[in-house]
Chain A
Amino acid sequence: GIQVEQSPPDLILQEGANSTLRCNFSDSVNNLQWFHQNPWGQLINLFYIPSGTKQNGRLSATTVATERYSLLYISSSQTTDSGVYFCAVDSGGSNYKLTFGKGTLLTVNP
């Protein structure tokens, strides 16, 4: 099955700093989503981005499908950005099965 690798596994920032999280995947995808998992376990949708670039406030994401990677940019980080960020992909077929990476644990210190 498709493999998803996220880097870095851990990231510690000071409030106000910028960061880039990376997601590499091993096959072509029909769906790619970025999620933020809060401390209570809720997965919050950030982006649905199988290709191209999207922006939402301080967050933006770019997926280069031909090169099989996606990047999540966080600018002017805040303590509330802390948590685990997951990339998940669906390689197609009759069901929308998401395969998740292991996540990036982001800690933003005040």
Chain B
Amino acid sequence: ETGVTQSPTHLIKTRGQQVTLRCSSQSGHNTVSWYQQALGQGPQFIFQYYREEENGRGNFPPRFSGLQFPNYSSELNVNALELDDSALYLCASSPASSKTQYFGPGTRLLVL
């Protein structure tokens, strides 16, 4: 069903480091959203990009930032990593004609 891909699948970083996670949206989808899922919780909305512009943000600090590229791929950057940033990071894309979001397989980030 989903053509959304994410890389890397797993990542280990140490506190204070910076990380970049990548997402390739499903073909024809111009909206991408990022979510953080802590262990045992539902995903939490980080932010959304539409046509390369940020289009809404959840309750996350500015050290969480993103980019969307002309080909609709996307990056999530996290600076000054903290232990609590350890989570599954999910990317979701939506086509222009629908509100349905399609999720990628996620990147598991462990901060030591």
Q: Which residues of A contact B (CB under 8 A)?
A: 4, 30-31, 33, 35, 40-45, 48, 86, 88, 90, 93-103
Q: How far is the CA of A98 from the CA of B106 in the complex (A)?
A: 16
B110 to nearest A CB, angstroms?
14
Expressed in whole angstroms, the Cα–Cα distance for A100 and B42 within the complex equals 6
Decide if B90 is an interface residue (CB 8 Å cutoff): yes
- Any chain A CB within 8 A of the CB of B8? no
Is B88's CB within 8 Å of the partner chain A? yes
Question: Is the Cβ of B58 less than 8 Å from the Cβ of A86?
Answer: no
**A94 and B42 contacting across the interface, CB-CB below 8 Å:** no
Task: Pick 18 A–B contacts, CB within 8 A, sort by A.
Answer: A35-B103, A41-B105, A42-B105, A43-B43, A43-B90, A44-B1, A48-B98, A93-B56, A94-B56, A95-B48, A96-B94, A97-B33, A97-B56, A98-B43, A98-B45, A98-B101, A100-B42, A100-B44
Chain B residues within 8 Å of A, Cβ to Cβ: 1-2, 31, 33, 35, 37, 41-45, 48, 50, 55-56, 58, 88, 90, 92, 94, 98-103, 105-106, 108
Residues of B near A102 (CB, < 8 A) are 41-42
Known: A100-B43, A102-B41, A103-B42. A45 touches B33 (CB 8 A): no
Chain A residues whose C-beta falls within 8 Å of the C-beta of B108 in the assembled complex: 41
Instruction: Specify which of B37, B55, B94, B99 lies most central, judged by the most chain A CB atoms within 10 Å of its CB.
Output: B99
Known interface pairs A41-B37, A43-B92, A97-B45; 17 further A-B residue pairs with C-beta atoms within 8 A, sorted by A's residue number: A31-B100, A33-B101, A41-B105, A41-B108, A42-B105, A45-B100, A48-B98, A86-B43, A88-B42, A88-B43, A95-B33, A95-B48, A95-B56, A97-B56, A98-B45, A98-B92, A98-B101
Structural contact, B45 and A41, CB atoms closer than 8 A: no
Cα of A48 to Cα of B99 in the assembled complex, Å: 9
In the docked arrangement, what's the CA distance between A69 and B32, Å?
Answer: 27
Compute how far the CA of A70 lies from the CA of B25 in the bound complex, rounded to whole angstroms: 29
**A96 is contacted by which of B1, B2, B99, B105 (Cβ under 8 Å)?**
B99
